[in-house]
Amino acid sequence: MRLPSHQRSHVSRALLLRGALTALLATLVLVPAAGAAPGDRGVFVSKGVGRQIFAGGGGVAYGTVFSGGSLVVMDYSPTHDLKVDSPVLATTNADGSRTFAPAGGAKSMAFRISGTLYRVTVLGSSTYNAIGVYGRLQVRGVKSSLTVNGKKMRWNGPAIKLGKVPRAVRDLFEFAVNGTTPPEPPAPPPPVTVPPTTTVTTGG
């Protein structure tokens, strides 16, 4: 039996996109990230109710936060290259982090994150997936499922290491893991002022 055309148009574009991303992730689980040696990058698929914390970067992360939940993101990269795509406006917190939450009345909020080094805290009911990343993942809660590099794992366990943190951000990575504000870079030295040269002319 064929559905009338007006019923087919009711298919949510968001659901189609989510299905395509899930299929892409399932494929990439078996393929190392481009330009990365085996073990340098990781893939995870996480879903549950509770708190998901990821400190790291590289690749791309995406997911959905459902009503009552929130997403808090802090940029730790030396070049401040964090990018968060979401249909809602963020609230900037006192420490410089940004909070995203479903708009009033909305059932969910999608997000996509990329950057060299950042910290993500996802609270409430959510899905959180990442491809080609390095860092550390900590998940706590209930009604959960987790797959890391194609292997099923459990929430409420020890922190999970993903890939190898690049040397260029290794020091800042510890701040991201602990959720502390990194120290401000030293101020550049003041410019050296050279006094003007005075020419003395004597009469002949």
Query: Once rounded to an integer, what is the mean pLDDT over residues 136-149?
Result: 95
pTM of the model: 0.73
Q: Is the pLDDT of residue 185 over 60?
A: yes
Tens of pLDDT, residue by residue over 92-125, are 999 999 999 998 888 999 999 999 999 999 999 9
Tens of pLDDT, residue by residue over 35-59, are 344 468 999 999 999 999 999 999 9
Q: What is the pLDDT of residue 203?
A: 60
Q: What is the pLDDT of residue 20?
A: 42
Q: Where are the domains of the chain?
A: 42-178
Tens of pLDDT, residue by residue over 56-68, are 999 999 999 999 9
Residue 13 burial (C-beta neighbours within 10 Å; 0-12, 13-18, 19+)? exposed
Query: Once rounded to an integer, what is the mean pLDDT over residues 23-40?
Result: 44
Q: Residue 8: in which H helix or E strand, if any?
A: helix 5-8
